[in-house]
């Protein structure tokens, strides 16, 4: 039976792990390398690391940290944060990352995605689409860690990125980030039904049932989450964890 990937998404700020709520109020979680070791033991499918301040600060994710993650990780991992040049992509992949995740630069210069896909292959390039409702209640794509709005609807931008050769999309709901209130399944489904490339859902997962629902109802290929894998209990005590397969495969 087809089984989607279950992917912990780990946020970085100043090279330490944090967790946000609706892209704000970062809460310290711990050391990223220690988290990698724990996910090695838990046999996670893959990991995602996102530097949440790189684009705002006009820099990129630490190459030294990427190398350390590559030396420690037993699983594929992807990284993102401030990537805006082909040389950066080349260096990050050489440091051990399987794929790069691009967000702000995809909006500023969409042809950059086309060039990157042609040089490194579509399978190496992921675009993360950050989505939230604007003042008028319309879903729009945002960039620079959710601080700048665009006129793109999520569907329009997803189709554009697919046409430019991206290998996968991460669809992230800013409004649900860190809430643990469930994915925006309608959003995920609207995109997964209109593009042919893999779609990974992110934002809002609070339990194993949320993973199951976005897989079955949202047609997601990847099930990504942050809080679900770093918190435990209603008081959100920090605990690195990962679900057993049978915890979410069946309702």
Catalytic residues: 130
Quick one: pLDDT at residue 109? 95
Quick one: pLDDT at residue 251? 67
Distance CA 187, CA 192 (A): 9
The range of the structural domain enclosing residue 139 comes to 5-249
Cα–Cα distance list, 5 to 43, 194, 201, 221, 238 (Å):
12, 20, 11, 7, 23
Quick one: pLDDT at residue 1? 47
Predicted TM-score of the model (pTM) = 0.96
| Model pLDDT for residues 90-113, shown as the tens digit of each residue | 999 999 999 999 999 999 999 999
Distance CA 161, CA 105 (A): 12
| Model pLDDT for residues 178-208, shown as the tens digit of each residue | 999 999 999 999 999 999 999 999 999 999 9
Quick one: pLDDT at residue 106? 96
Give φ, ψ of 54 to 5 degrees.
-60, -50
Distance CA 231, CA 30 (A): 12
Identify the CATH number of the domain in which residue 186 sits. 3.20.20.70
Domain count across the chain: 1
């Amino acid at each position: 039976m087809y089984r989607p990937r279950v992917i912990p998404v780990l946020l970085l700020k100043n090279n330490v792990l944090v967790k946000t709520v609706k892209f704000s109020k970062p809460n310290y979680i711990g050391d990223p390398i220690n988290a990698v070791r724990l996910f090695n033991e838990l046999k996670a499918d893959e990991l995602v690391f996102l530097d949440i301040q790189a684009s705002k600060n006009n820099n990129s994710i630490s190459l030294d940290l990427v190398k350390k993650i590559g030396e420690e990780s037993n699983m594929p991992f992807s990284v993102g944060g401030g990537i805006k040049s082909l040389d950066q992509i080349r260096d990050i992949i050489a440091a051990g990352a399987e794929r790069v995740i691009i967000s702000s630069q995809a909006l500023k210069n969409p042809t950059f995605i086309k060039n990157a896909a042609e040089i490194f292959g579509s399978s190496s390039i992921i675009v993360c689409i950050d989505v939230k409702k604007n003042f008028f209640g319309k879903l729009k794509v945002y960039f620079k860690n959710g601080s700048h709005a665009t006129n793109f609807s999520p569907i329009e931008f997803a189709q554009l990125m697919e046409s430019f050769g991206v290998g996968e999309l991460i669809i992230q709901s800013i409004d649900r980030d860190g809430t643990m209130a469930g994915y925006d399944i309608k959003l995920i489904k609207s995109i997964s039904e209109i593009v042919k490339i893999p779609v990974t859902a992110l934002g809002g997962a609070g339990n194993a049932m949320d993973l199951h629902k976005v897989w079955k109802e949202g047609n997601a290929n990847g099930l990504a989450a942050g809080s679900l894998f770093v918190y435990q209990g209603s008081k959100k005590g920090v605990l690195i964890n990962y679900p057993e397969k049978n915890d979410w495969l069946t309702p």
